[in-house]
């Protein structure tokens, strides 16, 4: 539910950064492995240097063949063996370089993904209220892997290409400086085309990442609500919507790949033209006696090595631009501000009594909309405070403010007389135990799920809490009892049973205040009453906030706040409110379909 937050937005809404900025931020992950990078660069230089020896040795072998005295077979064989040795050594070094870069990529991806996950846990609740889970998961998986693929393969290829281009150019200068003039035109033209295409392609890959994220977000939403979709026979509607998301993602991918694919063949054409020109002018020089045939052959081979990396770079341009777009999303998520830090002089909490006071509190999730208006009330220690009202009246918002998931816009919330904004967030939240309507269980045993949130819990403590929550008999009926593994967020048990498990979990946490937000909505009325009785006994002497639509469950509350459109319109006990014959009276009797 958006609760008035203005809908869902992109995982990171920021302008496209320059390539240099993205690379600089990526370098922070690579800097830790600078020695490995230096080693990789050294191996790349050595391997390519050995590879660059082959054309020179080939030229010398040709010279030994065209001697006027006849073919010098021992010399030819010697050069051929040297060529084989250089090629073998270069291949072995290339294999070692690939292994090093794959390991480097694995380490960087692991660190990046851990940083992302750690950062997600530090982001404010407002981020998760306004962003699709599937899009965030797409960044954690697809985008991080895309960056890793570039580090393991494309980066190695770029380093090798750079060494090959420089080495080939130097060798060509030593063989025939005149033929270098051919590249004065072709190389700048290739570079200009590559840069031009890069500026066009990168935004397209950014759009592709966004479309894939949107599709993943929709898939996550649809899969999580599949039972509801089938119950309302909306399979066809959701299939149609998915087809739209899928078409958008496919079109964005096709447009990006198609546009990027033009660069490689174009640059390849230019380089082939330069190779043809080198061959023609080299032949003319040979016929004029200005160069030996072996040198022409070596120059042609070096020109191929010189132009080859340029072709390869043009061909991997799409992958590089895709990685830069993915890196933008990853780094954009990492750049989001975490939940504001506590003030340096934030106060610890000792001996919390649970005295809560709202003083003229107003709040809005955005500047245009105010959700709560001048809320004032006091919750005394050990008392049960119930909050009722129609959907959207601000009940859950009050709990969000109490837990400091959001801070008030105006007014003050006090805990034992201290403004909660002056308290440490972690200690404030430890003073509460929450049981929500949306149950959450993790993959693990039943006992581990109940014991979640408190250290040093014994099996007897777990059983005692389960009995108090009236879930012990159900657990005993499971195949392994308390050691039964729950998977898939507890999909193997009913919603009511999951809710009872979360209530048992709450009973184990020794906190001075309890929040029940529609905590018994998935259980039957009889069980709900037993749970309420058990919970009230457990919370004796503690402050308890209960949000409930079933008004029959809060008739014993010490105080009931009736809310309407973000305001408290009535307060009092159940009997007092009925006697007022106001909004609570209408809600209560409308729910039970009777009129006094």
Render 507-536 in DSSP notation, one character per residue: HHS--SEEEEESTTTTS-HHHHHHHHHHHH
Q: Can you give the pLDDT at residue 592?
A: 65
CA atoms of 129 and 147, how far apart (whole Å): 28
Q: Quote the CA–CA distance of 240 and 276 in Å, as a whole number.
A: 54
pLDDT (tens digit per residue) in 536-554: 666 677 888 888 777 877 8
Q: How confident is the model at residue 3 (pLDDT cuts 50, 70, 90)?
A: very low
As a whole number, mean pLDDT of residues 586-596 equals 67
Size of the chain, expressed as the number of residues it contains: 596
* Cα distances (Å, whole numbers) of residue 402 to 116, 419, 543: 28, 11, 13
Write out the DSSP string of 231-286.
HTT-HHHHHHHHHHHHHHHHHHHHHHHHHHHTHHHHHHHHHHHHHHHHHHHHHHHH
Q: How confident is the model at residue 17 (pLDDT cuts 50, 70, 90)?
A: low
User: Positive or negative, the Cα torsion across 446, 448, 450, 456?
Assistant: positive
Q: Has residue 142 got a pLDDT over 50?
A: yes
Answer yes or no: is pLDDT of 63 > 50. Answer: yes
**pLDDT confidence of residue 299:** 76
Whether the per-residue pLDDT at 534 is higher than 70: the answer is no
Q: Measure the CA–CA gap between 63 and 293, rounded to whole angstroms.
A: 7
Banded model confidence at residue 532, pLDDT cuts 50, 70, 90? low
pLDDT confidence tier of residue 596, bands split at 50, 70 and 90: very low
Q: Which residue has the higher pLDDT, 510 or 50?
A: 50
> Across 68-82, 98-112, 314-328, which has the greatest mean pLDDT?
98-112
450-473 average pLDDT score: 85
Per-residue confidence (pLDDT) for residue 561, from 0 to 100: 92
- Confidence tier at 594 by pLDDT (50, 70, 90): very low
Average pLDDT in the 163-177 region?
79
Q: Is the pLDDT of residue 83 over 80?
A: yes
Q: In the prediction, which pLDDT does 363 show?
A: 93
Dihedral sign computed on CA atoms, order 253, 254, 259, 263: positive
Q: Of residues 145 and 263, which shows the higher confidence score?
A: 145
Residue 228 has pLDDT above 70, yes or no: no
User: Span 230-248, mean pLDDT?
Assistant: 79
For the segment 184-208, the average pLDDT, to the nearest whole number, is: 76
> Which range is least confidently modeled, 89-93, 248-252, 313-317?
313-317
Looking at per-residue pLDDT, the higher value among 74 and 315 belongs to: 74
Task: With beta carbons less than 8 A apart as the criterion, state whether 385 and 574 touch.
Answer: no
* More confident call, 54 vs 476: 476
Predicted pLDDT at 358: 94
Range 152-157, long-range pairs (CB < 8 A, 24+ positions): 152/98, 152/101, 152/102, 152/104, 152/105, 152/106, 153/101, 154/316, 154/319, 154/320, 154/323, 155/101, 156/40, 156/44, 156/97, 156/98, 156/101, 157/312, 157/313, 157/316
Looking at residue 420, its pLDDT comes to 92
For residue 7, what pLDDT is reported? Answer: 42
Q: Give pLDDT, residue 521.
A: 66
What would the pLDDT profile of 330-362 be if each residue is shown by its tens digit?
888 888 888 888 888 888 888 888 899 999 999
- 234 versus 314: which is more confidently predicted? 234
Kindly tell me if the per-residue pLDDT of 580 is higher than 70.
yes
What CA–CA distance (Å, rounded) separates 190 from 273? 12
Strand locations in 290-443 (E): 356-363, 372-379, 384-389, 410-415, 418-419, 432-436
pLDDT value for 582: 87
Please state, in angstroms and rounded to a whole number, the distance separating the CA atoms of residues 222 and 596: 45
pLDDT over 80 at 14, yes or no: no
Model confidence at 218: pLDDT above 90: no
Rounded CA-CA distance 258/209 in Å is: 16
Distance of alpha carbon 390 from alpha carbon 392, whole angstroms:
6
Q: Is 292 left (phi over 0), alpha (psi -120 to 50) or beta?
A: beta
Could you read off the pLDDT of 399-413 as tens digits, one per residue? 889 989 899 999 999
State what percent of residues in the chain have pLDDT above 70.
Answer: 87
* Mean pLDDT, all residues of the chain: 80
* Percent helix, percent strand, percent coil in the chain, to nearest 5: 65, 10, 25
Q: Return d(Cα 150, Cα 153) in angstroms, integer.
A: 5
Percentage of the chain modeled with pLDDT above 90? 8
d(CA 128, CA 136): 9
More confident residue, 75 or 565: 565
Question: Global pTM?
Answer: 0.67
All domains in the chain, ordered by first residue: 31-335 (1.20.1560.10), 439-510 (3.40.50.300)
504 pLDDT above the threshold of 60: yes
| Per-residue model confidence (pLDDT) at position 387 | 92
Please, which pLDDT band fits residue 10 given cuts at 50, 70 and 90? very low
């Amino acid at each position: 539910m958006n609760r008035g937050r203005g809908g869902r937005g992109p995982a990171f809404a920021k302008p496209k950064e320059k390539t240099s900025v993205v690379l600089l931020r990526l370098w922070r992950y690579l800097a830790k492995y600078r020695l490995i990078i230096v080693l990789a660069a050294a191996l790349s230089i050595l391997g390519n240097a050995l590879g660059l020896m082959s054309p020179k040795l080939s030229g010398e072998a040709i010279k030994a063949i065209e001697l006027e005295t006849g073919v010098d077979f021992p010399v030819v064989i010697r050069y051929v063996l040297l060529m084989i040795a250089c090629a073998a050594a270069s291949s072995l070094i290339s294999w070692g370089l690939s292994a090093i870069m794959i390991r480097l990529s694995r380490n960087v991806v692991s660190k990046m993904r851990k940083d992302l996950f750690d950062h997600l846990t530090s982001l404010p609740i407002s981020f998760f209220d306004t962003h699709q889970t599937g899009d965030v998961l797409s960044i954690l998986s697809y985008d991080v892997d895309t960056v890793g693929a570039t580090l393991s393969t494309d980066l190695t290829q770029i380093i090798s290409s750079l060494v090959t281009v420089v080495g080939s150019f130097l060798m060509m200068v030593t063989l025939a400086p005149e033929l270098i003039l051919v590249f004065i035109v072709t190389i700048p033209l290739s570079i200009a085309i590559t840069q031009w295409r890069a500026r066009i392609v990168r935004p397209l890959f950014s759009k592709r990442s966004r479309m894939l994220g949107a599709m993943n977000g929709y898939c996550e939403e649809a899969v999580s609500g599949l039972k509801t979709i089938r119950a309302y026979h909306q399979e066809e509607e959701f299939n149609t919507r998915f087809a739209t998301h899928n078409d958008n993602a496919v079109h964005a991918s096709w447009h990006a790949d198609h546009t990027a694919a033009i660069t490689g063949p174009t640059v390849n054409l230019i380089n082939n033209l330069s190779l043809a020109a080198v061959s023609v002018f080299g032949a003319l020089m040979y016929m004029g006696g200005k160069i030996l045939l072996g040198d022409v052959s070596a120059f042609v081979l070096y020109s191929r090595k010189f132009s080859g990396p340029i072709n390869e770079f043009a061909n991997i341009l799409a992958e590089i631009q895709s990685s830069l777009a993915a890196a933008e999303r990853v780094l954009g998520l990492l750049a989001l501000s975490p939940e504001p830090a506590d003030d340096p002089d934030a106060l610890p909490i000792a001996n919390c009594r649970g005295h809560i006071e709202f003083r003229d509190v107003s709040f809005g999730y955005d500047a245009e909309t105010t959700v709560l208006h001048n809320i004032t009330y006091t919750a005394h220690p050990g008392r049960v405070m119930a909050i009722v009202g129609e959907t959207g009246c601000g009940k859950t918002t009050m709990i969000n403010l109490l837990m400091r998931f959001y801070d008030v816009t105006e007014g003050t919330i006090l805990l034992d007389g201290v403004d909660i904004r002056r308290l440490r967030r972690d200690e404030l939240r430890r003073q509460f135990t929450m049981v929500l309507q949306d149950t959450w269980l993790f993959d693990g045993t039943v006992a581990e799920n109940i014991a979640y949130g408190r250290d040093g819990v014994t099996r007897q403590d777990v059983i005692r809490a389960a009995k108090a929550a009236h879930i012990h008999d159900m657990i005993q009926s499971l195949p392994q009892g308390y050691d039964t593994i729950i998977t898939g967020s507890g999909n193997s048990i009913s919603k009511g049973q999951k809710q009872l498990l979360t209530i048992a979990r709450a009973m184990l946490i020794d906190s001075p205040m309890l929040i029940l937000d529609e905590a018994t909505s998935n259980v039957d009325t009889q069980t709900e009453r037993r749970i309420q009785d058990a919970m009230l006994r457990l919370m004796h002497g503690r402050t308890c906030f209960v949000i409930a639509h079933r008004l029959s469950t809060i008739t014993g509350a010490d105080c009931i706040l009736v809310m309407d459109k973000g305001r408290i319109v009535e307060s009092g006990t159940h009997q007092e409110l009925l006697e007022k014959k106001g909004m609570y009276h209408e809600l209560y009797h409308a729910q039970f379909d009777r009129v006094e």
